[in-house]
Amino acid sequence: MAIRVVVSGAAGRMGLESCRSVAQDPDLELVGAVDVSRVGESIACLAGEPVPDLPISSDLAATIRQADAAVVIDFSVPHTRNEVFRTIVEAGARPVVGTTGWSPADIEAARRLVNVHGSAAIIAPNFSIGAILMMKFAREAARHLSSVEIIELHHDKKLDAPSGTAVKTAEMIASAQPDRPPARFDPARGKIVDGVRIHSVRLPGLLAHQKVIFGGLGETLTIAHDSLSRECFMPGVVLAAKRVLELRELVYGLDNLL
């Protein structure tokens, strides 16, 4: 039986791609679309074939219950992420969250909520398999090269900075460098996350790009990833929608599923 899926933030760019990917996968069934905009319009008219003709709803909890959804893929907006997450869990579905901006305190609160309800969830700063590998390679390099900075570049409509991917990368690098000394704050040198400097660029014409640059004695090492279209995130989204039903806890980062 196909897994019944609702997409939250369905009318956005990532939401529309998610609707198409869910509709194309034989193991998944798109049973609801939720957004604060385009309410009442058919998601099929926005996303095209093979998305089913479902009206966009503004009521997430009601849509989950009426559609008997098992999973909700959330690509809404950062300032509503905690409320949306709670609504999904309390309505009886399992969240697969790509909405960014999660702080460590937010993640711990979400983890407690999931445990109280005996549910499971996946929060992923990035669903691209290539980006996950970039982060893993950076963690491995950090065991051998201690000096590192991150440059992340995104489109000018991205609401948060630094990106969730850059923050997660810094956390993974720090985990490989437990004795890393604290960095001196300098506003011209980027934000410091776990002792790693992150530089954020927001410009039209970009999508999602990141470079992790290591410096050593007489050499540098650059690990880079470029997202050229939003399709690159969809294999990870589909994987998470299937795997979340096997979990018994909140998992932060798609790297924990690969």
Note the pLDDT tens digit of each residue in 198-229: 999 999 999 999 999 999 999 999 999 999 99
* pLDDT for the residue numbered 207: 94
Q: Of these residues, 117, 136, 155, 158, which one is catalytic?
A: 158
- Bond before 50 cis per omega within 30 degrees: yes
Closest CA to 121 of 212, 254, 216, 258: 254
Fold of 3-126+231-257: Rossmann fold (3.40.50)
Percent of the chain at pLDDT exceeding 90: 88
* pLDDT for the residue numbered 160: 87
* pLDDT for the residue numbered 180: 81
Q: What is the pTM of this model?
A: 0.88
Distance (Å, rounded) from C-alpha 209 to C-alpha 216?
A: 23
Distance (Å, rounded) from C-alpha 108 to C-alpha 239?
A: 23
Q: Of these residues, 154, 168, 199, 209, which one is catalytic?
A: 154
Q: Give 72-108 pLDDT, tens digit per residue.
A: 999 998 889 999 999 999 999 999 999 888 888 999 9
Q: List beta partners, residue 173.
A: none
* Domain coordinates in residue numbering, the chain: 3-126+231-257, 129-228
Are the folds of 3-126+231-257 and 129-228 the same? no
Fold of 129-228: Dihydrodipicolinate Reductase; domain 2 (3.30.360)
CA 39 vs CA 15, 59, 66, 111, 256: distances in Å: 14, 10, 17, 31, 35
Q: Identify whether 191 is a catalytic site residue.
A: no
Q: Identify whether 168 is a catalytic site residue.
A: no
* pLDDT for the residue numbered 237: 97
